[in-house]
Copies of this chain bind each other. A is one copy, B any other.
């Protein structure tokens, strides 16, 4: 039986042993949605790195460099953190070195913690991700990236969406209040996710930065069929 656990912030990750678990890293707006999109658009891999300097250093090895802080693209990089920058052949066959405010730090944080798999979670590939996790039949830990360690709505809602799908489809064990909370919140929000999220802090932040189109894109359900996860230290098609 699959057990489900939700970690609402990276600052709570130390309370959960991820060893042997399938860890889904969730940064809906936008890092993990962008990673899924990059792989879907034919990128060879996305390497999550901690600092802009690390990303830049990988340019010499042929990586496309991508960096975002506080919602904005950093100067001097090939890309920021928008899924649209991955489209129209821009990343086909490329390796990308990506650093973002929240999401890539979470991937890095769990990369060496003995997880069975580290997967990129997004509404874009929600359905196939749920099926993959059910087929693998192991404990699932959903790690919400949040905003600078604060809990946020959109990542919590995705955890609820994924948890709810798995619970509907297979026998589950849920002894985690954060998982129960996220599933009940998703039930409140699912009929109009975009409208619901308009009150959230990060939606407001990204709106000020004119990223509405990114948000509408990232909140689409199950339009991508690839599973993205860590293989040899980089996020790749599983």
Contact = CB atoms under 8 A, between A and B. Distances in A.
B11 A12 contact: yes
A201 interface: yes
29 contacts: A8-B151, A11-B11, A12-B12, A12-B149, A12-B150, A12-B151, A15-B148, A15-B149, A15-B150, A147-B177, A150-B177, A150-B178, A151-B177, A151-B178, A152-B177, A153-B177, A153-B181, A156-B177, A156-B181, A175-B204, A176-B201, A177-B201, A181-B181, A181-B185, A184-B185, A184-B188, A184-B189, A185-B185, A187-B188
A9 interface: yes
A199 B178 contact: no
A225 interface: no
Interface string A156-186: 1000000000000000000111101100110
Binding site secondary structure of chain A: helix
Contacts of A177: 147, 150-153, 156, 200-202
A9 to B, nearest CB: 6
Nearest to A153: B177
Interface of A: 8-9, 11-12, 15, 147-153, 156, 175-178, 180-181, 184-185, 187-189, 199-202, 204
B175 A201 contact: yes
Given A8-B8, A175-B204, A177-B201, 7 more contacts: A9-B12, A12-B150, A15-B148, A15-B150, A151-B181, A184-B188, A185-B185
Contacts of A147: 177
